Amino acid sequence: MNRLPHPMAPAAFTPAARFGASTSSPAAASARLAALALAVASAAALVGLLTATPAWSQAAASAPASPASPASPAASNAPTAPAAQAAAPATSVQTARLDSVWLQPERSAAATVLARNESRLSAEVAGTVQRWSADVGATVRRGELLLQIDPTDHELALQRAQAGRDAAMARLQLGLAQLQRGRDLVAQGFFSKEALTQRETEVALQQADLASAEAQLRSARRQLARTRVLAPFAGTVVQRTAQVGEAVAPGTPLFVLVEGAAAELQAHVPPAELPGLRRAGAWQFQPQGSPALLDLRLLRASPTIQTANRAHAVRLGWTPAAAAAAATSAPPGSSGVLRWRDPQPHIPAALLVRRGSELGIFVRQGQQARFVALPGAQEGRAAPTDLPPDTLLVVRGQAALSHGQALN
């Protein structure tokens, strides 16, 4: 019994029905199958192209990941790498004890030997030069005659003063005798008291005249003595301007005399080096062109800075042991070099580094580097320090250090 199909049931699918052709022809069926296979292959190729990964995407995936840019949302949301969170590695440096590298610098300054006295002798009285007895280069003793001015006029003035003094003495003696006579007469009632008072006044005036005459006599003697120009100290004549027969007046230059003994050394020291000069225990002077070193002692250092050279004036004298040698090898007027050694420890300039606006050094403190500023330090100059001798100073690798950096 044959069943009729339901009206709503779908028709059975067959390749012949799909292409609307009859299955009665074998050639037609083969053509339809070939067309179907070609359609399936084309669809598969299209799906492969759509699902394949591009070459540029593969290269990007194989490349190492780089740090994310702050502008990239993915990078900003990525977790921080553990290596970035770790501290910087410790730095290897070379250190040494401070007392093994410090130095005590030798300082020097130009110096000149000055005479303690350099006098320009002038005439004190008027007259004519009669003779001179010392010329340039002569060595004279204290009190030795250098020049004689014609004393004739001054001798006459002395004689007049002597005569005036004798006259005043005679008048006083007469007045005293008359005063005594008047007192006797007053006692006998033959002389009035008013007359006696007058004689006493006359005697007082005569005593004053005698004192004035004696003063004039001493002045005349002094003026006469000034006609002889004497050396005020032992020294050497370095200049003579007096000429025989020349008329001179008070103040006319005659000689320049330099004291030979007790010479002093003068030097000008910059303000930065004056403390070291005062701390030094020994000072030496080397005359120009001579290898000799003469020992000195510090006399005084001016606290005032001279405006001409912006330095302090320093005076030094010879030690007793060097005085004899200095008299011949370093006479007044000699120039040379003053040398001394600063006893305060100084750090070599090669170890100084600059951090910000300060110069200083790096020291090792435990496992860290610590920067120590040195006030007053200058580029290219050793810097004084008061650090303990056992301080560990970084002597190599300090240029790349920073304060607080870890050390091996």
CA distance 132 to 143: 14
Q: For residue 6, is it within any domain?
A: no
Q: For residue 177, is it within any domain?
A: yes
pLDDT tens-place values along the chain, 408 residues long = 444 444 444 444 444 444 344 444 555 556 666 666 666 566 655 545 444 444 434 433 344 433 433 333 333 333 343 443 345 567 888 999 999 998 988 899 999 999 989 999 999 999 999 999 999 999 999 999 999 999 999 999 999 999 999 999 999 999 998 888 888 888 887 778 888 888 889 889 999 999 999 999 999 999 999 999 999 999 999 999 999 999 999 999 999 999 977 789 999 999 988 999 999 989 999 999 888 899 999 999 999 999 999 999 999 999 999 988 888 888 888 999 999 998 889 999 999 999 999 999 999 998 899 999 998 888 888 888 989 999 999 999 888 898 999 988
Asked whether 351 and 379 are in contact (CB, 8 A), the reply is no
Asked whether 257 and 235 are in contact (CB, 8 A), the reply is yes
Q: For residue 50, is it within any domain?
A: no
Last residue of a domain, one of 226, 251, 281: 226
What pLDDT does 155 receive?
A: 95
My answer on whether 314 and 266 are in the same domain is yes
Domain count, the chain: 3
My answer on whether 355 and 313 are in the same domain is no
Structure tokens at 96: 């040494």
What pLDDT does 21 receive?
A: 41
Q: Give the CATH number for residue 268.
A: 2.40.30
**Polymer length in residues for the chain:** 408
My answer on whether 178 and 201 are in the same domain is yes
Structure tokens at 227: 């006609």
My answer on whether 386 and 316 are in the same domain is no
My answer on whether 378 and 395 are in the same domain is yes
Q: What is the largest CA-CA distance in the chain?
A: 221
C-alpha angle 93-97-103 in degrees, rounded to nearest 5: 115
What pLDDT does 62 receive?
A: 41
Q: Give the CATH number for residue 182.
A: 1.10.287
Helix (H, G, I), strand (E, B) or coil at 258: strand
Q: For residue 253, is it within any domain?
A: no
CA distance 239 to 248: 17
> By CB neighbour count within 10 A (0-12 exposed, 13-18 middle, 19+ buried), where does 244 fall?
exposed
| Region of residue 366 (phi > 0: left; psi between -120 and 50: alpha; otherwise: beta) | left
Structure tokens at 20: 């609307």
My answer on whether 335 and 369 are in the same domain is no
My answer on whether 370 and 298 are in the same domain is no
Structure tokens at 179: 């005063």
Last residue of a domain, one of 321, 341, 361: 341
What is the DSSP code string of 46-111?
A: HHHHHHSPPHHHHHHHHSPPPPPPTT-HHHHHSPPPHHHHSPPPPBP-EEEEHHHH-B--EEEEEE
CA distance 112 to 334: 6
Residue 300 bridge partners (DSSP): 315
Structure tokens at 363: 């020291």
Helices (H), 189-270: 193-225
Residue 153 bridge partners (DSSP): none
CA distance 369 to 356: 16
Which residue, among 330, 350, 345, has the nearest Cα to 104 in the 3D structure? 345
My answer on whether 268 and 337 are in the same domain is yes
Q: For residue 174, is it within any domain?
A: yes
Helix (H, G, I), strand (E, B) or coil at 377: coil
| Boundaries of domain holding 158 | 151-226
Whose tokens are 């403390």? That residue is 275
CA distance 228 to 210: 29
Last residue of a domain, one of 300, 323, 341: 341
Helix (H, G, I), strand (E, B) or coil at 21: coil
Helix (H, G, I), strand (E, B) or coil at 257: strand
Q: Which residues in 322-340 are b (16+ Cβ under 10 Å) and which e?
A: beeebeebbebebebebbb
Residue 114, C-beta contacts closer than 8 angstroms, at least 6 positions apart = 263, 264, 265, 266, 332
Which residue, among 353, 321, 118, has the nearest Cα to 239 in the 3D structure? 118
What pLDDT does 69 receive?
A: 38
Q: For residue 280, is it within any domain?
A: yes
Q: For residue 48, is it within any domain?
A: no
Q: For residue 62, is it within any domain?
A: no
Distance, first Cα to last Cα, the chain: 105
